[in-house]
Every structure is written in C-alpha cells, then in structure tokens.
Amino acid sequence: MIPKSFIQDLLNRLDIVDVVERYVPLKKAGANYVACCPFHNEKSPSFTVSQAKQFYHCFGCGAHGTAISFVMEHLGLGFVEAVEELAQSIGMAVQHEQTAVGVASHKAAPDLYEIMQVATRYYFGQLKASRRAIEYLERRGLTGAIAAKFGIGYAPDGWQNLAAAYPDYQRHELEEVGLVISGDDDKRYDRFRDRIMFPIINVRGQVIGFGGRVLDKGEPKYLNSPETVLFEKGRELYGLFQAQKSIRGSQRALVVEGYMDVVALAQHGVEYAVATLGTATTSHHIQKLLRLAEQMVFCFDGDKAGRKAAWRALENALPLLQDGKRINFLFLPAEHDPDSFVREFGREVFEQRVAEAMPLSEYLLEEICSGLDLRSQEARNQLIQRAKPLISAITSPVTALLLRKEVAALAGVTQPELEALYEIAPIVKAPPRAFKKAARASFPVHRVLLQCLLAHPEFGKEMPGDWHDEGEDAEAVMALLSVLREADYAVSGPALAQMFQGTTHARTIAQAEAGMLAWGEEFDVEREFNGLLGKLREDRRLQAFQVMQQEAARGGPSGMSSEQREQYLQLLRRNKDVPGK
C-alpha cells in the first residue's frame, strides 16, 4: 500500500499541466489550458486543465481527475503503476506501507527488469542463429521486421542454456522471475526449451514475462512465465505496449486468443490487437482497454471453445459496461483463427468483419433465447430465469434500461414487473415532490460548500462537528469532513479529490470541481465560505429555537431545567430582539 501522505506529496510536487502536455498539446485559454479531449473524439476543444486547481475536466465526455487519474486513463495503468510512473518522472522513490499482518508489501527490485531484458536479448540472438526457428516463423508468414518489433526470440533445446547469458546461473533472481526452475535435487534448469519466445511487455516498455510456443508437436503448446513479482497474467495483455498508440488512434481494441494472432494481424496492418495470456478475459483486462478506447471487440473462434470463452468475457464485462462505450463480439469460421483468416483474406476483409461484429446486447439476447420457443409460457419463464443474473449485473443506466425493456418485451411482461421479479431498483424513479423542492432549495448552498472545501480543505475545521444534511452534495461534504478529521496531516485539495476517485462521491466531486473552473480571479473563496457557514449556523439556531418553542408551549418555562430556560431566553432575545431581564 502507498501512504496517503506520499500521494499528497507527489501531487504537490507535480504540475498537472506538465504531466498532461507530455501526451496532449495544450493551448492557453485565460487562466486555464484547453485541448481536444484525448478520451473521446471531438473537433473543438472541451478538455480543460486548471493549473491553479490541479485538475482536468472534459465538458464533452465528463472525464475528470488529477495528474494521477490522467496517467491511469491515458496509459491504461493501475493506480500503483501510475503513481510509480509519475514518481519516477520527478525522481521520487515510492514509499510502501506495511500490510495489515505486519509484513512489508513486496516491490520488485529495479534489477529484475534488467534480468528480463538480458534474457530477451539472449533469446533474440538465438533466433538469428537458428535456421530451424527462422524457417518456422517464415512458414507462419512472419517477416524479420515484425519479429524485431515484437522482440520475438528462440530458446534453444537444452537444460542450462541461460548460463551463457548469466555468469551467476545460481542467483536466486532467475528463479524469482520465472526463467529457471529448481528441481527436487536442487539442480537448476531453464524453464523454456526449444520454443519460440514472445516477450510480454508492460505499458512502460519493460519485459515482465515470456510466452513460449513449441516449434513442432508437443505439450503444452504454449508455456507462459509463472506468476511473479513482475508478472500477473490476469492483469496483463500481450501486445498492448505495441498496440496502445493504434488503439488510441482508432479508438478500438481487438481482443484475440493467441500471440501469433496479434503478431500476424500487426504485420497485415491491424495494429490494435492484444491477446490474453492463457487465461480468460478478466475485469482488469476490460477496465484497462476501456480506458484506452471507445470500442472493444472480442474475436474468438466460432467453435465450442471459442463460444465458451466469449460468454465468459461477456459475463465479466457486464458490471463494467459504460454508457457510450461499445463491446462487440466477432466469431470467425470454425476452420479459422485471426492469424489464418488475415493471411488468407487480407486486412480489408478482416476489418470489414470487425466493423460488422455483433453488439454485446445482441449476443446476450441471442444466447439467452437459444433453444427457447417463446410462444410458450414455460419458455418465457425460463428466459426470465436465464436473464436475471446478467441483467442484475449491469450498472450503466442506459444499457441497463434498454436491456431490461428488451428482456421484458421478449418475456411478455412489463419493465416494472421484471424489476419487481428480479428485486432490483428501477433505473428511472421520480423522487417525491417535496424532496425535489427541498433539493432545489438546498443544492446551491451544499454545492458551493463542497467547492470551498475542495479549494481549501483547512476550512473543514470550522465546520460544526455534528453537521449533517441530505442530498448528494451534502453527503459528499460529510464524506470530505470525515476524511479531514481522521487525517493526521494537512490534506491538500488535489489529494482530497484523488482519495474519492472511484467512489460513490466521485461524480458529485467532479461536477463541483467543473463548476470551479468558472470562478474568476475576483472570487473570494474565504468570504463565500464564511457567508455559508454563517447561514448554516443561523439555520441551526432557528431549528433549535423552534424545538424549544414547542417544548415551552407544551410544558411552559417551569417544565424546563434552569440551563434549558436560560438557553431558550437567549434564543428568544436573538430571534425577537426583545430586551434582556
């Protein structure tokens, strides 16, 4: 875990304008900087970066956050990876807290990456020296240029060939990164032998693992590096480092099953393909790609195994669906995989198939209706049961609404009836009139209060300890106050906003900060906050007076304690401006 104080220190040392300009050209526009948004296609700039407030906001797609959020979204990194990337850029060493059980969280030593790079160079050199390996790649239609682009190499047959690359073959790091294996008799040997080697590279260009394919017949056909301190296959995608520029440019990511599929497609000009690493598509894979592109296309074989893999991908994608993002499914003929298809029919035909890929909603409905005669009540009942876990998993409002409508129509029930059967809340629910009126009345106060606290978190110590109210803005204010009271250091505005990324309050905070972009230089935040605080205190005093007035009406002053009677008289004087005793 990375301490929150380190995150704050990092954000304090970074300038978000410098960070964003590494990837996106910015233009000065008044007090802020603008550009065409890197997260969606647009012709006129709606992406704004505030140097004074250290956040970015897109008025087109709603993208919002700090320097850390930007690097996460733009490079498709996880939180820890983004922090490490930014810290490295300004020469800071990332701090790690101890885990809950008291064991320090493990971080890869810097030289482990160099160890992997030495292996990559060795395997690449061995490919050049092996006529047999070269002929295999040529039979698969690969050129030397594409092999060099992906760093493809060859692990010779033999038990300790890596001893030629590492003078100290016994060093424990070779086993730690999965290059060698220790047998029962403590004898070491190379994990990869007589295999074409595909380096697995993270988005920062570092080799973290390998995939090895047999040249002839043999099992396993593909052998991957084991899980190591550098490599976690459920989080990584083969070819993403090479593909990320094309993915951003086309706003499309193609997910295939094999290393050779990725390389062959890239050689034919389809450069936005990536592959999972011998595992099903995970939520981490989906999140990473949806950060980079507006569309994901899963391309699987049309056989039973391909259909099974596609369905697992759909199930993992449902909770992560985002309105405005598209997920499609492409099934090739059973006799083809992407590698063989693009070699036989070429790029144009393959990309036409990609463009015509089945939308997720169509694939879902096709599968749950498969084998059912919906003219019968029993079949419609079965449809409702099949759809329940799938529909219930979707959180994106528009997608959920449309699919609920379609399933309800197919089953012959109304949407409210379907939602009642599934025991899920309606997507669109009109709030009571009284609540809407109260929300409209209180919204400006709570929104500006939230903005003041984001601009100057130190104002939080002025807020009453038991303050509370209703509504999204008020709840966000209470959440901020809770963090500020628990922190053992002075929290900055950017660090405070970063803490709420990915929480239920993230959208409210983003909207509040977007409104702050309209503040002029003459806007006095402290005066505004003091005015709001005075109003809140006055409201609380009036509420207290009304309560005591009711008590006095019921029992009279004689029914109060002396302390309550004095408090009541003080409130009465302030409220009615009556003379003192």
CATH number at residue 10: 3.90.580.10
Whether residue 286 is found in the same domain as residue 345: yes
Gap between the Cα atoms of 288 and 105, Å rounded = 23
Reported as a single tens digit per residue, the pLDDT across 159-185 is 999 999 999 999 999 999 999 999 877
Q: Give the residue from 350, 264, 276 showing the smallest Cα distance to 309.
A: 276
Does residue 121 fall inside a structural domain?
yes
Low-confidence ranges of the chain (pLDDT < 70): 97-110, 428-443, 539-581
Whether residue 356 is found in the same domain as residue 373: no
What's the pLDDT at 566? 63
Angle between helices 259-267 and 240-250 (to 10 degrees): 50
Whether this model's pTM surpasses 0.75: no
What's the pLDDT at 62? 87
What's the pLDDT at 102? 39
CATH of the domain at 334: 3.40.1360.10
Of 177, 193, 224, the one marking the end of a domain is 224
Q: Residue by residue, what is the 3-state secondary structure of 234-281?
A: CCCCECHHHHHHHHHHHCEEEEECCHHHHHHHHHCCCCCEEECCCCCC
Does residue 344 fall inside a structural domain?
yes
What's the pLDDT at 106? 42
What's the pLDDT at 425? 86
Whether residue 344 is found in the same domain as residue 247: yes
What's the pLDDT at 554? 60
Whether residue 314 is found in the same domain as residue 376: no
Structural domain containing residue 466: 433-523
Residue with tokens 């990536």, as numbered in its chain: 274
Whether residue 360 is found in the same domain as residue 250: yes
Whether residue 374 is found in the same domain as residue 338: no
446: left (phi over 0), alpha (psi -120 to 50) or beta: alpha
Whether residue 160 is found in the same domain as residue 207: yes
Strand partners, 67: none
Number of structural domains (the chain) is 6
Does residue 286 fall inside a structural domain?
yes
Whether residue 21 is found in the same domain as residue 116: no
Whether residue 347 is found in the same domain as residue 246: yes
What's the pLDDT at 74? 86
Q: What is the dihedral angle through the alpha carbons of 421, 427, 433, 434, rounded to the nearest 10 degrees? A: 90
Whether residue 442 is found in the same domain as residue 500: yes
What's the pLDDT at 502? 82
